[in-house]
Amino acid sequence: MDSSPQKPESVRHIALTYAHTDSQNSALQLIFALKPEWRESQETIEFVRFTDGITNTLLKAINKLPGLSERQVDRESVLLRAYGKGTDVLIDRERETLSHSLLARYGLAPPLLARFDNGLLYKFIEGSVCSPADLRQPEIWRGVARRLGEWHATLPISSISSESPTNGSLANGHRTASIEAIERLTPGKPMPNVWTVMQKWILALPISTQGEKARRDQLQKELEWLVKQFGNTPGVSSNPFVFAHCDLLSGNVIIEPPSSASSSHSSNSCDSEETETPVNVSFIDYEYATAAPAAFDIANHFAEWGGFDCDFSVLPTRSQRRDFLKEYLLSYNSRLERSFKDAECTALFDEVDRFRGMPGFYWGIWALIQAQISQIEFDYASYAEVRLGEFWAWKAEVDGSREKLGADEKPLRERRWAQEE
């Protein structure tokens, strides 16, 4: 199979803009540009707004033509995703298009139909969106583990990364200082990667006050420390980087209807000793996809078991994480025609354990930027403190500072992470 993704410039571009202040009309014009035949049935067109994300606007355009079943209507539906204001500082839209196109070639994403000035149009995926509680159901997390193993084993990171730090995805308004800082951070590594993405974000933090500057300097110091600690993590199958989703929250996991299950997700693809039968799932929204250690992608997903409320009491226990990783490695190895080894599972378990504090650091920086640019009604500033708090709590355990300060008990998240059952 030719795995070369469709180039962004070859994806159809519609020279229109979605307007948040005129949602219905601007969305209609985009749909008419994509599907001119729908102009004759405007009265049956509806838009369903999804609210699971906290960055973009996501609309499902449906046309309830007479005589069509609900399933038939869904199959003709289109998803419209409009970017949040100012999010280009966080997200490389060209890389997102490359990622989506590559995933579509592998049957791991819906076809990308068109780009418009501030968003994308793509085919609707049949199925139901997960909730955080769904992610904790064995049949669903086993499906997630299998799908993630398939992603990491088969998708080439060369399609979204290079060894040159000078491309636009790394610059975005910081062409001199940013490139130099990024090049110093991970020399010789494919770029962009999760480390260089965080570097770009830190450089985009506001420094208009002394407090803001002090915080940015502190986060820069911590990033450099993290790279020294984890920048050379061996990774799954001695592969330091994989094509990582980097945003596997519940709203980005779709439970597929049984009839749409693909052969790649048949129950024979990797046998499980467990009694729960995994459901087939798909992942959506690839705007944060980049080269990253598999352990980060997995630890990041585990953090999402608690949802946006950051309910640390429901994060996966040690036994749940082991079972997830076994399912993941069975899928990963089956794609590469390799046998499962307990030692490999143990090594990956340890890596994920070490990475457990990094998602809080990653999303904490992200939320600090969103607090400055977003027009969405979400308390990003408080969310940033909660997520960065995860990182500080983890570091206090790693370096022993909690005990040195005389704290009697581990914080809830660390206690839950250490729980066996």
What are the tens digits of pLDDT across the range 118-130? 999 999 988 999 9
Residue 54's pLDDT band (cuts 50, 70, 90): low
Please tell me the predicted confidence (pLDDT) of residue 183: 73
- What CATH number should be reported for the domain holding residue 338? 3.90.1200.10
What are the tens digits of pLDDT across the range 368-395? 999 998 877 889 999 999 999 999 999 9
> How far apart, in whole angstroms, are the C-alpha atoms of residue 64 and residue 183?
52
Task: Determine, yes or no, domain membership for 182.
Answer: no
Q: Do 370 and 294 belong to one domain?
A: yes
Task: Determine, yes or no, domain membership for 289.
Answer: yes
Strand partners, 46: 62
Q: Kind and range of the H or E element at 194?
A: helix 194-203
Q: Do 303 and 325 belong to one domain?
A: yes
Task: Determine, yes or no, domain membership for 84.
Answer: yes
- What CATH number should be reported for the domain holding residue 118? 3.30.200.20
Please tell me the predicted confidence (pLDDT) of residue 84: 83
Q: Do 42 and 134 belong to one domain?
A: no
Q: Do 54 and 156 belong to one domain?
A: no
Q: Using the Cα atoms of residue 189, residue 195, residue 200 and residue 203 in order, give the sign of their dihedral.
A: negative
Task: Determine, yes or no, domain membership for 348.
Answer: yes
Q: Do 77 and 143 belong to one domain?
A: no
Residue 388 corresponds to which tokens in the numbers above? 């960065």
> Nearest-CA neighbor of 252 among 415, 135, 105?
135
Q: Do 18 and 155 belong to one domain?
A: no
Residue 106's pLDDT band (cuts 50, 70, 90): very high
Task: Determine, yes or no, domain membership for 209.
Answer: yes
Structurally, how many domains does the chain consist of? Answer: 2
What are the tens digits of pLDDT across the range 281-308? 999 999 999 999 999 999 999 999 999 9
What are the tens digits of pLDDT across the range 132-159? 999 999 999 999 999 999 999 999 998 8
Whether the predicted pLDDT of 8 surpasses 70? no
Whether the predicted pLDDT of 272 surpasses 60? no
Q: Is residue 171 classed exposed, middle or buried when 0-12, 13-18 and 19+ CB atoms within 10 A define those classes?
A: middle
Q: Measure the CA dihedral 225/226/227/228, to 10°.
A: 50
Q: Do 418 and 373 belong to one domain?
A: yes
Whether the predicted pLDDT of 78 surpasses 70? yes
Q: Determine contact, residues 28/128, Cβ cutoff 8 Å.
A: no
Q: What per-residue string of b and e applies to 74-108 under the rule 16 or more CB within 10 Å gives b?
A: beebbbbbbbbeebebbbbbebbbbbbbbbbbbeb
Residue 51 corresponds to which tokens in the numbers above? 């609210």
CA distances from 206 to 110, 156, 201, 218, 373 (A): 37, 35, 10, 13, 11
Strands 112-116 and 13-14: parallel
Domain limit, last residue, from 98, 123, 148: 123
Q: What count of residues does the chain have?
A: 421
What are the tens digits of pLDDT across the range 153-181? 999 998 888 765 444 444 444 445 566 77
Task: Determine, yes or no, domain membership for 6.
Answer: no
**Full DSSP string of 147-180:** HHHHHHHH--GGGT-BS-TTSHHHHTT-TTHHHH
What are the tens digits of pLDDT across the range 214-267? 999 999 999 999 999 999 999 998 899 999 999 999 999 999 988 644 444 443
Task: Determine, yes or no, domain membership for 192.
Answer: no
Q: What is the mean pLDDT of residues 309-316?
A: 97
Q: Do 326 and 356 belong to one domain?
A: yes
> How far apart, in whole angstroms, are the C-alpha atoms of residue 95 and residue 44?
35
Q: Determine contact, residues 382/371, Cβ cutoff 8 Å.
A: no
Residue 9's pLDDT band (cuts 50, 70, 90): low
Domain limit, last residue, from 123, 151, 184: 123
Q: Do 156 and 245 belong to one domain?
A: yes
Task: Determine, yes or no, domain membership for 66.
Answer: yes
Domain limit, last residue, from 123, 151, 181: 123
Rounded to two decimals, what is the model's pTM?
Answer: 0.89
Alpha helices in 304-400 (DSSP H): 318-335, 342-354, 358-373, 380-398
Please tell me the predicted confidence (pLDDT) of residue 13: 95
Q: Kind and range of the H or E element at 91?
A: none
Please tell me the predicted confidence (pLDDT) of residue 52: 53
Q: Do 103 and 137 belong to one domain?
A: no
Q: Is 30 helix (H, G, I), strand (E, B) or coil?
A: helix
Strand partners, 58: 50, 81
Q: Do 147 and 51 belong to one domain?
A: no
Q: Do 81 and 130 belong to one domain?
A: no
Please tell me the predicted confidence (pLDDT) of residue 207: 94
User: Is pLDDT larger for residue 86 or for residue 331?
Assistant: 331
**Structural domain of 80:** 13-123
Residues 6+ away with beta carbon under 8 Å from 127? 254, 255, 256, 257, 260, 281, 282
Phi and psi of 67, rounded to 5°? 90, -10
